[in-house]
Amino acid sequence: MKSVYFLCIAAMFLGISSAEDAWDGTEDPEDWPKTFPECGGKKQSPITILQAKSEDWTPTDRKNKKFEMKFDGYDKEASVEAYNTGYLANITFKNSSSEKPRITLTQNGETVEYYLTNIDFHWESEHGFYGRRSDFETQMWHRNLDKNRVIALAYLINECSDSEEEEELNMYQELVVAQDIVEYGNSYSYTEVPKTFMPRNYQCGYFMYEGSFTTPPCTEGVTWFVYRKTLCLSEIVINAFKTMQNKNGKRIESNNRPFQENDPELVYLSCNEDPEDDEDDDDER
């Protein structure tokens, strides 16, 4: 069963010994801690973000703190496989590590490369701002196997309106993919440019915090980067994902975990020296 395979790989990667506890995506999230105790931990994700509680790190601040986040290879085509796990749509990158897009993160005197391994989709969003969710969320997972570390980029997405302020993602290839993996266990291989899932300016404008995986075994130690600006996606693409079925043949109407009672240190990585100017720049991006 491929969904269990993905979970076992995650468990092996993070040193989890309970890989025999199969999770099939049909249980109520409130019951997860009964089988997966770490799902009841103190640093769980997702969270609702309160921007007023964040510490701003401007470009100068990041330079002084010797913090750098560098993106490479996101504009190149990659070989991927989309798969219906019975809980969500998962896109796995099949290239070798040297060919995968990567983030080079320098922090606390250490530089580590994280390679893009897979992309997950959630509807409604898992993260939110001030208690409000969006229609959709894309999560891009990056791993460093040698150091057993994970970072995730999250983009919150709403159905597009007529507003000129919104930035629409061009994910029409995913419309075809979603239609081909409606049934549980179905997969579809194709080529994709990772930048398709990201905003035009994807190198800043994130809230950073320490959390966890949002599915069992809910392993903690994930560094999250949640993009401040909400993007938009065509209604037809969002609805295509909502036709997907779980292992019982029922439609996956939603697949988001409730907000967790995690009050982490929250840092905003602004694009401008005055973080308020980030909002003024949105139309230009």
Q: Give per-residue pLDDT as tens, 20-37.
A: 345 777 789 999 999 999
Cis peptide before 46 (omega within 30 of 0): yes
pTM of the model as a whole = 0.89
**Cβ count within 10 A of residue 33:** 15
State the chain's mean pLDDT as an integer. 88
Alpha-helix residue ranges (DSSP H) falling in the chain: 2-13, 32-35, 59-64, 172-180, 235-241, 277-281
Residue 206: both structure tokens together: 């994130």
pLDDT tens sequence across 127-158: 999 999 999 999 999 999 888 999 999 999 99
pLDDT at position 4 over 80: no
Mean pLDDT across 181-189: 94
pLDDT of residue 283: 44
From edge to edge, which strands make up the β-sheet containing 132-133? 48-49, 128-129, 132-133
pLDDT band at 285 (very low <50, low <70, confident <90, very high): very low
Domains in the chain, ordered, with CATH? 2-284 (3.10.200.10)
pLDDT band at 6 (very low <50, low <70, confident <90, very high): very low
What is the C-alpha separation between 111 and 127, in angstroms, rounded? 27
